[in-house]
A and B are shown apart, each in its own frame.
Chain A
Amino acid sequence: MKQRRPVRIFVTAAIATATLAWATQFALGAAVVLPKLAEPYTTWLSRAYDPCTEPAVSVVSVHLPSGGCVAANVSTDNSVKMKMGRLSVGLRGKVVLLMTGATVGDEVNVQLMLRVTLPAKASQYTGTKPVTFPDQSVVCGPFTASWSGAIIGSTTLSACLGSSSGLAAATGGFTNIEILGAQVTKQGDNLPIATSGVLR
Chain B
Amino acid sequence: MKKTYTLGATVVAGLMALALSAQAAPPTTASFPTLAAGYTAWFARAMDPCDLATSAYVVSVTSAHMPPYGCTQQNSDTDAALTLKFARLTVTQRGKLMILGIGLPHGAQVGVQLDLRFTVAGVKTTQYTGTKTVTFEDQTVNCPGFTARGAGVIVGSTSLATCLGPDSGLQNSPSNVEILGARLINLNNNKPFAEAGVVR
Contacts and interface: CB of A to CB of B under 8 A. Distances in A.
Interface of A: 28-53, 55, 57-65, 67-74, 76-78, 81-85, 89-93, 101, 115, 117, 120-125, 128-136, 163-171, 173, 175-181, 193-200
Contacts of B190: none
A122 B136 CA distance: 45
Contacts of B179: 43, 46, 195-198
A198 B86 contact: no
Interface in B128-183: 128, 132-138, 166-181
Contact of B135 (A50, A129, A171): A50
The winner among A163, A165, A178 for most chain B CB atoms within 10 A is: A178
Contacts of A46: 32-33, 36, 176-179
A85 B42 contact: no
B189 interface: no
B168 A58 contact: no
A78 B27 contact: yes
B93 A65 contact: no
8 contacts: A37-B42, A47-B119, A57-B128, A64-B167, A68-B125, A71-B134, A171-B200, A199-B176
Given A37-B86, A52-B136, A60-B126, A132 B39 contact: no
A198 B31 contact: no
B72 A131 contact: yes
Contact of A35 (B40, B87, B91, B133): B87
A44 B132 contact: no
Interface residues of B, number: 97
A70 B133 contact: yes
Interface of B: 27-52, 59-67, 69-75, 79-80, 83-88, 91-95, 103, 117, 119-120, 122-128, 132-138, 166-181, 193-200
A197 B177 contact: yes
A85 B38 CA distance: 11
A70 B127 CA distance: 10
Contacts of B176: 46-47, 49, 197, 199-200
Contacts of A58: 125-127
B190 to A, nearest CB: 17
CB-based closest 5 A-B pairs: A63-B169, A166-B65, A122-B59, A199-B36, A130-B73
Given A61-B123, A71-B135, A91-B200, A198 B29 contact: no
A59 B35 contact: no
Contacts of A178: 44-47, 195-197
A152 B37 CA distance: 18
A181 B171 CA distance: 21
A115 to B, nearest CB: 6
The winner among B83, B171, B176 for most chain A CB atoms within 10 A is: B176
Given A32-B75, A40-B198, A48 B178 contact: yes
Contact of B134 (A62, A69, A136, A164): A69
Contact of A49 (B45, B85, B86, B117): B117
A55 B120 CA distance: 14
A51 B138 contact: yes
Given A177-B198, A200-B177, A63 B36 contact: no
B27 A74 contact: yes
A124 B37 CA distance: 48
Contacts of A43: 38-41, 179
A120 B135 contact: no
Contacts of A60: 124-126
A69 B135 contact: yes
Contacts of A136: 67
B134 A35 contact: no
